[in-house]
Structure 1
Amino acid sequence: MTRPSALRVADLSQNTPTPFELRPDSAQLDAMAQELDLLALRKLSFAGEIAAEGKRDWVLTGKLGATVVQPCVVTLEPVTTRIDVPVRRTYLANMPEPDGDEVEMPEDETLEPLGSVIDPAVVMAEALALSLPLYPRKEDAEPGDATFAAPGTTPLSDEDVKPFAGLAGLRDALKKDS
């Protein structure tokens, strides 16, 4: 991986952005795929820069690119998805601390408290996890009829549970008799 380790904020240049480029090797890709319950993580790259914003705050901007393989939610067959997303994190030296039992989420979800280090690898892993499709599905996959019942009982179909389905048949039978 051509990744720097976590970057110490004290070592970052206040005047010039610090570039980074991460490309995990195959062992790291396999470990991330396992952690994220993926069938495979074929490619992953994260490149960008960390720049000063004001006197004490920092902004990380970059672009995440990945090719992931997940099981289809209908058929469990592999579904390959390409992810290309911009990433932004703003590290604030004076991040307001939440107080009280209930905390509202800030409008800007890219805000983070500034610590002594900024780790682009952690941001990459988080951005990848947040960008994964929640319900990957093959193009032609359609949900089938699922029937569930205890052994020895007849399963209910969708038609059986419609409350007025039997009344329509009764109505038709009464019309024939009249």
Structure 2
Amino acid sequence: MTSPTPQPERLRVAHLNPRVPTPFSLAPDAGRCAAIAAELGLDGLSKLTFEGTIRAEGGEAWALTGRLRARVTQPCVVTLKPVRTTLDEEVERHYSPHVTAPEGDEVEMPDETLEPLGQFIDLAAVMIEELALALPEYPRAEGVEFEAAPEEPAPDTRRPFEGLDKLLRQRDDG
């Protein structure tokens, strides 16, 4: 029995058929999952799959739709105990040659699914970015609650110029 041919992680846009959707399926091996976990600061990444299709969308644009599934382990933000989370996220991206990549600092785009179209669509990069976006920001072990810090009294701001007249008199007298 032969193993399946590995799916390319980058698809050359010129090789995509505009009349037929192109299916894709990525399932990184244990070594690649460990590297991704290290890159994202995870304690573990025991499962990761990214499947979907890329299809032509009006003229020169392309649409990627898919599903990301993962099982991640992160430290609890309170106790540092391992927290396991199962992720199941829908992914949607639209690639257009009429969108330019921002130079230098990142710029907020009005449509977060819109991407500039280059020579390649990097499925691995999309998978890792979507995984990073789907991670819980503050993972907590079951039953753990944050204890609120005691509130400090707010400063009295009802008279912001109180005492200013004294300072002005001292300056004029001095």
Q: Distance in 1 between matches of 2:105 and 2:6?
A: 41
Aligned equivalent of 1:166: none
Counterparts in 2 of 1:112 and 1:136: CA distance versus 1, 3 Å: same
Alignment partner of 1:82 out of 77, 83, 86: 86
Contact 2:83 2:141 in 1 (8 A): yes
The amino acid that maps onto 1:128 is L
- 1:47 aligns to 2:84 (yes or no): no
Aligned equivalent of 1:149: none
Aligned equivalent of 1:113: 116
Q: Distance in 1 between matches of 2:10 and 2:135?
A: 24
| Deviation digits for residues 14-39 of structure 1 (CA, Å, limit 9, x no counterpart) | 10011000000000010011111111
Q: Distance in 2 between matches of 1:102 and 1:32?
A: 24
Structure 1 residue runs of 5 or longer lacking an equivalent are 147-157, 164-178
TM-score by length of 1: 0.75
Residue 11 of structure 1 deviates from its aligned partner by 0.4
Aligned equivalent of 2:140: 137
Residue 72 of structure 1 deviates from its aligned partner by 0.2
Matches within 5 A, 1:58-69: 58-69=62-73
Q: Distance in 2 between matches of 1:94 and 1:3?
A: 28
Residue 105 of structure 1 deviates from its aligned partner by 2.5
The runs of at least 4 consecutive aligned structure 1 residues that moved more than 4 Å come to 96-99, 101-104
Counterparts in 2 of 1:103 and 1:11: CA distance versus 1, 3 Å: closer
Matches within 5 A, 1:135-174: 135-143=138-146, 158=150
- What SS does the corresponding residue of 2:54 show, helix, strand or coil? strand
The amino acid that maps onto 1:130 is L
- What SS does the corresponding residue of 2:112 show, helix, strand or coil? coil
Residue 145 of structure 1 deviates from its aligned partner by 8.7
Aligned equivalent of 2:28: 24
